[in-house]
Chains A and B, each alone.
Chain A
Amino acid sequence: MPDTTVFADVAHEPGVAKPDPILVADGVVRRFGGLTAVDVSHFEVQRHTITALIGPNGAGKSTFFNLLTGFDQAQEGAGTFDGTALRRMPPHKVARAGMVRTFQLTKALEGMSVMENMRLGAQHQPGESLLTAFAPPMWKKREAEVTERAEDLLQRFKLYEKRDESAGVLSGGQRKLLEMARALMASPTMVMLDEPMAGVNPALTESLLEHIVELKDEGMTVLFVEHDMHMVRRISDWVAVMAQGSIIAEGPASTVMQNPAVQDAYLGEHHDTDLSEDQS
Chain B
Amino acid sequence: MDILINALDQMLAPATAAFAIAAIGLNFHFGLTGLLNMGQAGFMLLGMYGYAISIREGLPMWAGILVAIGVAMVFGLLLGWPTLKLRGDYLAIVTIAAAEIVRYVGRSNSLIDITGGSLGIKGNDYKDPLESLSPFPDERITIGPLTYHGSASDSWWLRVVAWTLVAALLVIFWRLSNSPWGRVLKGIREDEDAVRALGKSVYWYKMQALIIGGVIGALGGIIWAHGSAVVADSMGRPTTFWIWTILLMGGAATVFGPVLGSVLFWSALSLVRAVSKAFIPESILPSTAIEPFGLMLVGTALILIVVFRPQGILGNKRELAFHA
Chains A and B are bound partners: yes
**A92's contact among B179, B181, B189, B200, by CB below 8 Å, is which?**
B200
Query: Is the beta-carbon distance between B197 and A139 smaller than 8 angstroms?
Result: no
Could you pull out 17 A-B pairs where Cβ atoms are within 8 angstroms? Answer: A71-B196, A92-B201, A93-B199, A100-B197, A103-B193, A103-B194, A112-B183, A116-B183, A120-B183, A120-B187, A127-B181, A128-B183, A128-B200, A130-B208, A133-B181, A134-B176, A166-B319
Query: Taking each of A90, A107, A182, which has the highest tally of chain B beta carbons within 10 Å of its own beta carbon?
Result: A107
Chain B residues contacting A120 (CB-CB under 8 Å) are 183-184, 187, 195, 198, 200
Contact with B along A111-128 (1 / 0, CB 8 A): 110001001110101011
> CA–CA, A100 to B179, complex, Å?
24
Q: A71-B193, A95-B199, A103-B194 are in contact. Are A134 and B183 (CB under 8 A)?
A: no
Smallest CB separation, A181 vs chain B (Å): 12
> CA–CA, A212 to B212, complex, Å?
42
> CA–CA, A185 to B279, complex, Å?
64
Query: Is the beta-carbon distance between A119 and B183 smaller than 8 angstroms?
Result: yes
A110-B318, A111-B190 provided; 10 other pairs, C-beta below 8 A? A69-B197, A71-B197, A92-B198, A95-B198, A103-B193, A109-B187, A128-B181, A128-B184, A130-B208, A185-B198
**B198's contact among A93, A100, A110, by CB below 8 Å, is which?**
A100
From residue 167 to 187 of chain B, which have CB atoms closer than 8 A to chain A? 172, 175-176, 179-184, 186-187
**B318's contact among A92, A103, A111, A186, by CB below 8 Å, is which?**
A111
Q: Does A173 contact B (CB under 8 A)?
A: no
Q: A92-B202, A121-B198, A130-B208 are in contact. Are A139 and B179 (CB under 8 A)?
A: yes
Query: Closest 6 CB pairs between A and B?
Result: A127-B180, A133-B181, A107-B194, A95-B199, A133-B179, A109-B190
Residues of A within 8 A of B (CB): 69, 71, 90-93, 95-96, 100-103, 107, 109-112, 116, 119-121, 123, 125, 127-130, 133-134, 136, 139, 143, 166, 168, 179, 182-183, 185-186
Q: Does B320 contact A (CB under 8 A)?
A: yes
From residue 282 to 324 of chain B, which have CB atoms closer than 8 A to chain A? 318-320
Chain A residues contacting B179 (CB-CB under 8 Å) are 127, 133-134, 136, 139
Residue on A with the closest CB to B197? A101
Chain B residues contacting A95 (CB-CB under 8 Å) are 196-199
Chain A residues contacting B138 (CB-CB under 8 Å) are none
Query: Is the beta-carbon distance between B320 and A182 smaller than 8 angstroms?
Result: no
Chain B residues contacting A127 (CB-CB under 8 Å) are 179-181
Query: Is the beta-carbon distance between B199 and A168 smaller than 8 angstroms?
Result: no
Query: Is the beta-carbon distance between B319 and A139 smaller than 8 angstroms?
Result: no
Interface residue count on the B side (C-beta < 8 Å): 29
Residue on B with the closest CB to A182? B198
User: Could you tell me the dominant secondary structure of chain B's interface residues?
Assistant: helix
Query: Is the beta-carbon distance between A128 and B180 smaller than 8 angstroms?
Result: yes
> CA–CA, A54 to B237, complex, Å?
53
Chain A residues contacting B208 (CB-CB under 8 Å) are 130
> CA–CA, A236 to B49, complex, Å?
65
Smallest CB separation, A49 vs chain B (Å): 22
Chain B residues contacting A183 (CB-CB under 8 Å) are 197-198
> CA–CA, A121 to B179, complex, Å?
14
Query: Is the beta-carbon distance between B181 and A130 smaller than 8 angstroms?
Result: yes
Chain B residues contacting A90 (CB-CB under 8 Å) are 196, 201
Residue on A with the closest CB to B198? A121
Chain B residues contacting A136 (CB-CB under 8 Å) are 179
Chain B residues contacting A143 (CB-CB under 8 Å) are 180
Q: Does B191 contact A (CB under 8 A)?
A: yes
Smallest CB separation, B210 vs chain A (Å): 12
Chain A residues contacting B186 (CB-CB under 8 Å) are 109, 111-112, 116
Query: Is the beta-carbon distance between B183 and A92 smaller than 8 angstroms?
Result: no
> CA–CA, A100 to B196, complex, Å?
10
Smallest CB separation, B187 vs chain A (Å): 5
> CA–CA, A109 to B200, complex, Å?
15
Q: A120-B184, A133-B179, A136-B179 are in contact. Are A110 and B190 (CB under 8 A)?
A: yes
Query: Is the beta-carbon distance between B199 and A92 smaller than 8 angstroms?
Result: yes
Residue on A with the closest CB to B176? A133
Smallest CB separation, B116 vs chain A (Å): 36
Query: Is the beta-carbon distance between B194 and A109 smaller than 8 angstroms?
Result: yes
Q: A128-B180, A130-B208 are in contact. Are A96 and B190 (CB under 8 A)?
A: no
Residue on B with the closest CB to A70? B196
Smallest CB separation, B14 vs chain A (Å): 27
> CA–CA, A123 to B189, complex, Å?
19
**B180's contact among A91, A139, A186, by CB below 8 Å, is which?**
A139
Smallest CB separation, A66 vs chain B (Å): 10
Query: Is the beta-carbon distance between B201 and A133 smaller than 8 angstroms?
Result: no
Query: Is the beta-carbon distance between A111 and B319 smaller than 8 angstroms?
Result: yes
Query: Is the beta-carbon distance between B191 and A107 smaller than 8 angstroms?
Result: yes
**A112's contact among B176, B190, B193, B202, by CB below 8 Å, is which?**
B190
> CA–CA, A91 to B191, complex, Å?
14
Smallest CB separation, A28 vs chain B (Å): 20
**A134's contact among B175, B193, B200, by CB below 8 Å, is which?**
B175
